[in-house]
Homo-oligomer: A and B are copies of this chain.
């Protein structure tokens, strides 16, 4: 799988691959709204990020590989949907 197949802005890290992306916001209110929407999305998808690291104006998300140690369609689809969530934040 080449890097170009990853959704926009996501990068693969590690030997057991994870997908990582940093999202930046203008203020805590926007960050909070994104976090809440992210929680709802991952709940619905039944897939939870390996790790989320956030402060007032950023959210770093790490998605982990599936049970086979690979990044599969589920992870890529979730990454794409998280991107859409970010793009739609101002709607």
Specify which chain B residues have a CB less than 8 angstroms from the CB of A52 in the assembled complex. Answer: 53-55
Interface size on A, residues (CB 8 A): 13
Question: Judging by beta carbons under 8 Å apart, are B53 and A53 in contact?
Answer: yes
Nearest residue in B to A49 (C-beta to C-beta)? B55
Interface status of A32 (Cβ within 8 A of chain B): yes
Q: How far is the CB of A71 from chain B (nearest CB, A)?
A: 18
Complex Cα distance, B53 from A58, in Å, reads 12
Where chain A touches its partner, the secondary structure class is mixed
Nearest residue in B to A28 (C-beta to C-beta)? B48
Interface status of A39 (Cβ within 8 A of chain B): yes
Q: Which residues of A contact B (CB under 8 A)?
A: 28, 32, 35, 39, 48-56
Specify which chain B residues have a CB less than 8 angstroms from the CB of A51 in the assembled complex. Answer: 53-55
Complex Cα distance, B8 from A60, in Å, reads 28
Specify which chain B residues have a CB less than 8 angstroms from the CB of A56 in the assembled complex. Answer: 48
